[in-house]
Amino acid sequence: MSGDKLQLALRELHEFATSIPFWLTFAAIVLLFTITGPYGTNETMPVIPRFAFWLSIHAGTWLMGVTGCIAGLVWLEGIIANSIARVFVGALAATPFVGLVVVLVNWGWGNSEPSWAKFGEETLSALPLTIVLAGICFLVMRKTLEPVPAAADMPAPIIRSSLLNRLKTENRGNILTLTAEDHYTAVTTSRGHELVLIRFSDALSELDGEDGLQVHRSHWVAIEHVEKLVRENGKLILLLKDGRQVPVSRSFSATVRERLS
């Protein structure tokens, strides 16, 4: 399993974990199934157990479907050129696992005994669901899937540091700043901004000769992006060309003054 592919997969999982529309859609569908009580559940289950049952069904099936979509997108690269097609193929490949979840949840709730016939039936019934999930995955990951337009205001990066490989395609520009944020590093480029699941020290090691300076234990800045160095309230501050201000710690102040003088 390639480290880069795993990094991409984790990044896409993070997209889903932080997508409010995704969770609102999930909640709406669970509530819809709870209220309507399809497959006779409105007659055999009170409201609260019915809600728990459909929550279990959808949590498991959506997990399998989303995992399939991400796996298809990441691990079928180089086999299937079209990224959207990879998502749908991954979703279809996850269909048997979706069917298995339905069989096991029904078994756990005492609704039916597992069997190969039941597994085949539920897998076939899950096919429309996985297609819908592929569509939802497409909407969540559409920025990753859309091709990047060529534009004069989106210049190609001068230096191709290996850190860029961790970014979404549309964000791969000249690296301007890095900022440590817990277990993530916030990377700002000439094309956009992105949180990457990588330690700040590891991100610095992947800059591969980028012309910049670490100015603080949590900040790195490209020289080209510095407007000027100022002192405010006795502290050194870098004013950046995008209007942001970055503190300069004492341990890096001498190096910063020398480089920017």
Looking at the DSSP bridge assignments, the partners of residue 238 are 229, 246
pLDDT of res. 144:
52
Q: How far is CA 107 from CA 100, 118, 179, in A?
A: 10, 11, 49
Q: Does the pLDDT at position 255 exceed 80?
A: yes
Per-residue model confidence as pLDDT tens digits over 192-202: 899 888 999 99
Q: What share of the chain in percent tops pLDDT 70?
A: 90
Do residues 148 and 124 touch, judged by C-beta distance below 8 A? no
pLDDT of res. 3:
55
Residues 6 or more apart in contact with residue 129 via CB below 8 angstroms: 61, 65, 98
**Greatest CA span in the chain, whole angstroms?**
79
pTM of the model: 0.58
Residues 6 or more apart in contact with residue 254 via CB below 8 angstroms: none
Tokens found for residue 37: 């009580």
Per-residue model confidence as pLDDT tens digits over 105-133: 999 999 889 999 999 999 999 998 888 88
Q: Does the pLDDT at position 134 exceed 80?
A: yes
- Average pLDDT in the 224-252 region? 92
pLDDT of res. 148:
43
